[in-house]
Amino acid sequence: MLRRIAAQSEPRLWAVARAAKESLLHIKDLQAVRAAPAPSTPPSAVAAKPGPPKRTIYDADTSENLPGRVVRKEGAAPIGDAAADEAYDGLGSTHRLYAEIFGRDSIDGAGLALDATVHYGNLYDNAFWDGNQMVFGDGDGEIFQRFTKSVSVIGHELAHGVTQFTAGLNYRNQAGALNESMSDVFGVLVEQYLKKETTEQASWLIGEGLFTDKVQGAALRSMKAPGTAYDDDILGKDPQPDSMDTYVRTSADNGGVHINSGIPNRAFYLVASELGGNAWGAPGQIWYGTLISGSLPPACTFGKFAKSTAATAEELFGVGSVEHDAVLKAWETVKVKV
C-alpha cells in the first residue's frame, strides 16, 4: 500500500508520496527488528494473576525521538489531545482483553508497562510496536488519518509484542504471514470485546476509520472477506487472497506477510462464524492456546499452524466436538491441509 502511495507523481500528492517513502524506509528497519530472534518470557516470570495496567503516554511533537515528553500517566484524567487519549484508552482495552479473557498480565505475561508515543514524525503513515513500546503517526491527512483512531490497529500492533514473547514467529514468508494474522486476530478481538459485539455484529475489519473520505475503502484488511477492504485509484485493489488457491508468491513485503495473512485470517473468521456467539470465547481460546503452546516453530507454515490449532481444539474441547470440527472445516475451506 505504501509503495503505491510513494509512487504517486501528481503535484497534489507530492507531500504524501514523500511521507510514504520515509515511512517505507523506517518500516524496513522495523522489519529487521521483527526478523531478529526474540526471547520468550520465562515461565517463572509469568504472573499467576494479572495486575492493573501501567500506562504512560508520550508526545514526540512530530520528531522521531523516542519516547518524547510525558503527557499522561496511569490513572490521570484525559488531557484533551485526541491521539494521546485514544492511545491511553486503546492500551487499556488491549490489557483488559488479555487479563480478563486469557488471564495474561500485559504483553509479556509478567506485567510489562505499556508505553506509547503519539505525534511521531511528520505526516507519518504508520503505527508500530518497536519491541519495547507503541508508536503512532498522525497520518498524512490525504489518505490516512491519525493511527490512534482504530482500536483494532492498537490491538494488532501490541499483539506483535505478545507473539514476540511467546511463539517468536519469523517475520518472513508463511511464518511472517502468521505473525501478521495473529495480530489481526487479537486486534479484532480487542475491538469486539470493547464493544461487546457478537460474531454476527462485528465488522471484522482491521483499521476501520483510518482512511480519509477521499479513499474508496472501508479499512486496511477484511478478515471476513480478504481482498475486499479497499479498491481505490491510488491504493489499488486489496491484494489479499482468501484461500491457498490464490496464494501470492512474492519476494516483496518479506515474502507477502501482509498479503497472505488473509488466508489464516479467514480461517479464524470461519471458525468464529461457525460457532457463533463471541469470538473471544472458544475461537479466541483456541488461537491463544496455540500461540502459547510451544508447538509453533519459528519458521512455522500454514499447515503446521492449522494442525496445532486442531490439536488445541481437541485438547480444550475434545475430538468430534463442534469446536474441533469447526477448526477442521475452516482450514479445509481455505485449502490448508490439516
pLDDT tens readout for residues 199-245:
999 999 999 999 999 999 999 999 999 999 999 999 999 999 999 99
More confident residue, 38 or 71: 71
pLDDT at 36 over 80: no
More confident residue, 192 or 24: 192
Q: 237 has which bridge partners? A: 231
Helices (H), the chain: 2-6, 14-35, 82-102, 151-165, 173-195, 253-256, 262-275, 282-291, 302-317, 322-333
Domains and their CATH numbers in the chain: 48-149 (3.10.170.10), 173-333 (1.10.390.10)
Marked catalytic residue, from 26, 119, 160, 258:
258
157 part of the active site: yes
Q: What is the pTM of this model?
A: 0.91
Marked catalytic residue, from 142, 157, 180, 323:
157
pLDDT tens for 139-164 read: 999 999 999 999 999 999 999 999 99
User: How many CA within 13 A on the CB side of residue 315?
Assistant: 12
